[in-house]
Structure 1
């Protein structure tokens, strides 16, 4: 492994640790060209995510079931994520921090699912499941002066584009009861 890769892995490990403790890591000894600091504030932003990006119309496309998601940054360290499917929407929460062009996410327990049976008169049911803490890294970039999030996974890439303020989305989560089911105490 090259020295740059070793340093990068070490920094990524430190960053993940920093996300869990809520304190920034001092990078005094690193050169600015290696890690570029940005003042982009995600607090209060709402993103729509999907597997395709239409750069001509500057929109995210999600033309299939289970390939669209919403992500809201509640404040400077808390996010809520919603994975949309016809039969089940899954909500999760966690902490986030930025390191250069990476957005590091610590996905915390619980997962909350809203389960529906399409084509029937059955009401939706809710399921709350505990899970182990997971860590995810998203890339941050710009396209036509618009902030873009991207995450690669086995089989593809999802892209996220800012859709506006988080206030209405958070209000809807509270109205549905998701906020309480996720054990969020922030007003």
Structure 2
């Protein structure tokens, strides 16, 4: 009986290790190699959601507040921020550029609103904003980290598990 309990505990610990370390730690690599029609968006989502599992890089600052359910990475040189929040069962993302404009994205990484903080927090009409250009700017500002993560092949390739777990986001 004790052997069975120990085996179950060992199996659960192994599954947790694989899930936590390999899958989340290599999520950007898996996103890059997924069948998604919009790999860049999926990479950016995985990048911010799993910041606490990714290696740190010089020139970038990281904040992770478990109680407040958010994670932020800052490109110190360019003074831009990219944030992931999980609030009321929804994923949201925010990008703050160097002109102090906040771009808010929903759980599918679609632009929902823009607030110009530097101009008395005025809302900007999102129809005047080129969403793809903003996403490309985000990618470029965090490219040193993203390129390294994209090319960091995992010891055990769990692409099929990633594709299964994130199938709703891979479109």
The answer, yes or no, to whether TM exceeds 0.5 is no
Q: Report the TM-score when normalising by structure 1.
A: 0.27
Name whichever structure is richer in strand by fraction.
Answer: 1
Q: Give the structure with the higher percent helix.
A: 2
What is the TM-score with the length of structure 2 in the denominator?
0.30
